[in-house]
Amino acid sequence: MVNILSWSDSLATGFMEVDLQHKKLISIIDSVFQTIKEYDPEYALKMAKILKQLTDYTEYHFSEEESLMKRHGFPGFEGHKKQHDDFVAKVGKEIHLLAQASPDDGYLFYRFLGTWLLEHIAKSDHAWAEWLRDRGVRD
């Protein structure tokens, strides 16, 4: 098992609040990895707690980001929101199974979470951030 997640400054959007939220999301997903690695008798309980934290914080972060995009009239808003919604739907579907699942399945899910987040930040979040910055929007 390999830890694929870490923050790098190339992920920064230039919007401080958003960057802090991304760091927090990375750290929550990192605790999914740590829980799998430790795999102890508390596994199911720990996993259930972290996944709840992940869904709550993801919802919070997505809605903050969406209101920022909307407020400034970002033209890619609908497509971006759809990426968020699809992610929430997928995570919501798997999350009930996951606390009971084997660590191997947990690890696959962790890889999905990690790669989705890093790619989403690097491509999609950077797209709205650049658009906003080009129009002089600062946080």
Residues that bind Fe ion (CB under 5 A): 65, 125
Residue 36, C-beta contacts closer than 8 angstroms, at least 6 positions apart: 1, 103, 106, 107, 110
Q: Which is nearer to Fe ion, 39 or 60 (CB)?
A: 60
Q: Which residue has the CB atom at the shortest distance from Fe ion?
A: 125
Least distance between Fe ion and beta carbon 125 (Å): 4
Q: Are 40 and 11 in contact (CB under 8 A)?
A: no
Least distance between Fe ion and beta carbon 65 (Å): 5
- Tracing tokens 């191997």 back to the chain, one arrives at 104
CA 71, CA 68: separation in Å to the nearest integer? 5
Q: Which is nearer to Fe ion, 30 or 65 (CB)?
A: 65
Least distance between Fe ion and beta carbon 57 (Å): 11
